[in-house]
Structure 1
Amino acid sequence: MSNNRMRTDVILIGAGIMSATLGTLLKELAPDWEITVFERLADAGDESSNEWNNAGTGHAALCELNYTVEKPDGSIDISKAIKINEQFNVSLQFWSYLVKSKLIDHPQDFIMPLPHMSLVQGEKNVAFLKKRFEALASNPLFEGMEFSDDPKKLQEWVPLIMKDRTLNEPIAATRIESGTDVNFGALTRMLFDHLKRKHVDIRYKHHVDDMKRTSDGSWELKVRNLDSGTVERHVAKFVFIGAGGGSLHLLQKSGIPEGKGIGGFPVSGIFMVCNNPDVVEQHHAKVYGKAKVGAPPMSVPHLDTRFIDNKKSLLFGPFAGFSPKFLKNGSMLDLITSVKPHNLLTMLAAGVKNMSLTNYLIQQVMLSKEQRMEELREFVPSARSEDWDLIVAGQRVQVIKDTEAGGKGTLQFGTEVVSAADGSIAALLGASPGASTAVHVMLEVITRCFPERMTEWEPKIKEMIPSYGVPLMKNPGLLREIHASAARTLGLSEGMPLPMA
């Protein structure tokens, strides 16, 4: 090991969308700060952020039914939908700022306009969808949403889904044109190209083996070069752990009390991708259904138009799978080595509580391709097995912790920031809506970890994100202004010219 300790201001662990976003924000707020990035793979955005490892939905709660729940009195709780929509609007504003400032080019390479739809069958589900539509449609954030239970209208919206369909029960859908398909892999690579031009030190094929506090409160990381095997020590005042499924192990190595008692449960995803261009051309939307009983929220079935490598694709899924790995490129020992004395009881309690999830995962793993095709045919009745292939998507580690509401061993579905009391280190855990809300989440990291800087930085933050600190649902004028600006800058309106590179 080298005896030299290399010092920097900020270390980012993991070259995914979260580190890319945080690094870009910090370079705008504190351009003189030195930043070093460590990534164990050979390139940026190759794990969870990769375009084939996630659904590419710009999550704004426009179509995801699990963000709106029916309360015991029959009313629909839209609070989570409002929260996620507001957070996605923060991302849109930041991306627009980057393009307008010429920090990144060609927005059409990472974001495309695409209608978002919810589709349900059965009398009870149709009644739920109509109530959901009525609760959302009057809110400025969901302006333009349409509802229909008329098969002729649905034929116009989703011809592939309605083709050869036997209508023996009610069917209904909502549709909103302001949805997006986002290629988070492409965006991640664009942001790291920008950071490289800003002289950020990005080290691929480098693995963080360990970390510890130094006497002055900084963090010393033991980093191994995976090509040469050499080990170096790097010291920084602030460390961000944005390593996807690998974040939990690194958080545990930090030893901070805020990381105690937290466990993780990995769930993998499998998608079906259409290999027939004629079929791909018959569908143009992201269409979300309802999760089956016992299924985790991230397993809501959906039929998605995707734009990857400037080519239109069609995916269906996800089917849940199980692997003890915390990363697609991880170790089979990841799950067992994450169990520590401080989270053992929490993990055991979660196992007892989630037997239905365990059974569901076992059933999903055992599915044959033809059984998966039968699930696809609930969306596309005319689907032929030879037109569809299976692809394995990324690993997602769901957070397990003790909560007041859920008690011991509660499985959390969402994204969570864990930070030290002194703000010297922060880690991002969890999954969806993840990447879609990356800018909001990284602003939360900055607020928590650099509170003494916020007064100084606020004007710049408001330049990048005009709605910063303002609830958009209560300011429809600002919301429309932001949407119009994003549409022009990012090319999100039909017939509107894309910005010049």
Structure 2
Amino acid sequence: MSSTLGVLLKQLDPSLTIAMVERLDHIAQESTSGWNNAGTGHAAYCELNYTPETAEGKINASKAFDINASFEVSTQFWAYLVEQGALPEPQSFINPTPHVSFVWGENNVNYLRKRFEALSNSAQFAGMEYSEDPEVLKQWMPLVMEGRNPNEKVAGTRVSWGTDVNFGALARHMIEYSQRAGNFDLYLGHEVSAIKRQGIDWLVTAKDKHSTTPLELSARFVFLGAGGAALLLLQKSGVDESLGYGGFPVSGQWLVCKNPDIVKQHLAKVYGKAAIGAPPMSVPHLDTRIIDGEHALLFGPFAGFTTKFLKLGSFFDLFASLRPSNLIPMLKVGLTSFDLIKYLITEVLQTRKSRMVALREYYPQAQDHDWSLAFAGQRVQIIKKDPKTGGKLEFGTEVVAAKDGSLAALLGASPGASVAVTAMLQVIEKCFADQLKTSAWQTRIKTMIPSYGQSLTEDAELLKQVRQHSLTTLKIIPPTA
């Protein structure tokens, strides 16, 4: 998020001076790291939690349309940066990987059929394939279908132009470009300890892990893009807009296979249905991953609970976030989220054997010795005030900005990095509203993102044009497609 915002702002105004403060000694080692997330270019092609079924049996696809449009904005921006030479060859951070939804059992098959019908009639999902034929599904995902009960009712959908994204590599590329562009300072190994008003500016103080001399930076605008720790930093700022927000941390684990004989048989991100009460990022999926040239398969994630807000954070993070303003919302969520709590307890108690049983629902012939357990990144879901219930748990991301636009933070999790460009455009719209009204900024932003200010959900022809250009430039589809 932070690297995206930095590059957007430098494109809009090259004269800006930007500093980035990172608590670790290397870039993008927390949630953005390729091994700490699924790497799915979330476009709502395969993620069933974005299309819930209502009590009346209808599919609510509104979130899917919004997320799909947001991902199109991201690919437009990445394609622009590739064309400008700001990003290297696309294969270094994004690769074509079909997005597949897979279900079994009559009720689930009926659901997927209705989902396909609700989505495929729109231009955004035109070209999505649907099948209940085991032979067709075997072509899409051989490992998933091999050894499966032939009498089992199954169904799947596929979008061939899905993507696997190494967000860690993408962030590093953007920061390297920012350094080449100039007027950009990167401070690694510095942990922010204070954010205080200083007249019309902010004074940001950070501790240097390798020195006793603190770093002090004065800035007219501050963005807090620290993953789960963004909440703690937002609270340090003392802005009124931080009041009432809390965080619910969820940890994750993956089963990882790097056996090349197995990995080469699966090229897809295969998503299923989540367990009752499961948070959105815990939808089970069997993924092709391409991270810095290394191919692997990931299955999971298996959720858990911890009081850390970062993978390399402190067990005191949750307690440090408690404030009089967020105690009631957090208590209300804790007392009403029985399904989620039950789910997390079940996940925490899982053994290796039970995890392999879960894997074999998606890959029936999986062998224990081919898979190892790895820890994913931390995710902190938003808890906020609610006038009706007193507090509610939000799934997704949310931009929180000070009234005067001098400070902003990004809270929440999935779909996260996939919609980074849309999220950071929201920051710019809230915090740089006057500049954005100028013809210079309008011209530049529409050069970077041709669809800016227009609806890709409503304008099918515009969608077709920008999607073709983005997918061709990023080498997701061949130029002749």
Tell me which of 389, 393, 412 is aligned to 1:407.
Answer: 389
Matches within 5 A, 1:297-312: 297-312=280-295
Matches within 5 A, 1:320-335: 320-335=303-318
SS of 1:473 mapped into structure 2: coil
**1:493 corresponds to:** 477
SS of 1:77 mapped into structure 2: coil
Matches within 5 A, 1:53-92: 53-92=36-75
Deviations 1:455-492 (A, max 9, x none): 22111000000000111122222212112211221111
Does the CA-based 8 Å contact 1:266-1:396 persist in structure 2? Answer: yes
Worse overlay, 221-230 or 121-130: 221-230
Q: Structure 2 vs 1, CA of residues 100 and 356 (structure 1 numbering), >3 Å: closer, same or farther?
A: same
Does the CA-based 8 Å contact 1:65-1:118 persist in structure 2? Answer: yes
Matched, 1:374 2:354: no
**1:124 corresponds to:** 107
TM-score by length of 2: 0.97
Alpha-carbon separation, structure 2, partners of 1:168 and 1:454: 59
Q: Which amino acid aligns with 2:442?
A: E
Matched, 1:438 2:390: no
Deviations 1:85-108 (A, max 9, x none): 000000000000001111111111
**1:420 corresponds to:** 402
**1:360 corresponds to:** 343
**1:337 corresponds to:** 320
Matched, 1:453 2:435: yes
Q: CA deviation at 1:427?
A: 0.4
Does the CA-based 8 Å contact 2:130-2:155 persist in structure 1? Answer: yes
Worse overlay, 466-475 or 18-27: 466-475
TM-score by length of 1: 0.94
Deviations 1:332-363 (A, max 9, x none): 10011111111111111111011321221121
SS of 2:31 mapped into structure 1: coil
**1:483 corresponds to:** 467
Does the CA-based 8 Å contact 1:37-1:202 persist in structure 2? Answer: yes
Alpha-carbon separation, structure 2, partners of 1:34 and 1:143: 43
Matched, 1:202 2:186: yes
Q: Which amino acid aligns with 1:396?
A: R
Deviations 1:172-216 (A, max 9, x none): 0001112100000000000010011122101000111011112x3
Alpha-carbon separation, structure 2, partners of 1:160 and 1:232: 52
Gaps of 5+ in 2: none
State the identity %: 53
Alpha-carbon separation, structure 2, partners of 1:482 and 1:323: 42
SS of 1:222 mapped into structure 2: strand
SS of 2:6 mapped into structure 1: helix
Tell me which of 437, 448, 458 is aligned to 1:474.
Answer: 458
**1:228 corresponds to:** 211
| Structure 1 segments (4+ residues) deviating >6 Å | none
Alpha-carbon separation, structure 1, partners of 2:472 and 2:28: 27
Worse overlay, 429-438 or 275-284: 275-284
SS of 1:76 mapped into structure 2: coil
**2:259 corresponds to:** 276
Deviations 1:414-468 (A, max 9, x none): 0011000100000000001010000000000000001111122111000000000
Matched, 1:463 2:440: no
Q: CA deviation at 1:496?
A: 6.6
Does the CA-based 8 Å contact 2:258-2:295 persist in structure 1? Answer: no
The total of aligned residue pairs comes to: 478
Q: CA deviation at 1:389?
A: 0.5
Alpha-carbon separation, structure 2, partners of 1:192 and 1:177: 31
**1:258 corresponds to:** 241
Deviations 1:375-415 (A, max 9, x none): 000000000100100100000000001235x7222111100
SS of 1:172 mapped into structure 2: strand
Alpha-carbon separation, structure 1, partners of 2:471 and 2:194: 44
Q: Structure 2 vs 1, CA of residues 229 and 496 (structure 1 numbering), >3 Å: closer, same or farther?
A: farther
Matches within 5 A, 1:100-115: 100-115=83-98
Alpha-carbon separation, structure 1, partners of 2:78 and 2:84: 10
Q: Which amino acid aligns with 1:489?
A: T
Alpha-carbon separation, structure 1, partners of 2:105 and 2:479: 37
SS of 1:224 mapped into structure 2: strand
Matched, 1:99 2:82: yes
Does the CA-based 8 Å contact 2:472-2:478 persist in structure 1? Answer: no
Tell me which of 36, 41, 55 is aligned to 2:24.
Answer: 41
CA RMSD of aligned residues (A): 1.3
Q: CA deviation at 1:365?
A: 1.3
Q: Which amino acid aligns with 1:445?
A: V
Does the CA-based 8 Å contact 2:75-2:471 persist in structure 1? Answer: no
Tell me which of 198, 202, 211 is aligned to 2:195.
Answer: 211
Alpha-carbon separation, structure 2, partners of 1:444 and 1:275: 39
Alpha-carbon separation, structure 1, partners of 2:215 and 2:149: 64
SS of 1:379 mapped into structure 2: coil
Does the CA-based 8 Å contact 1:275-1:389 persist in structure 2? Answer: no
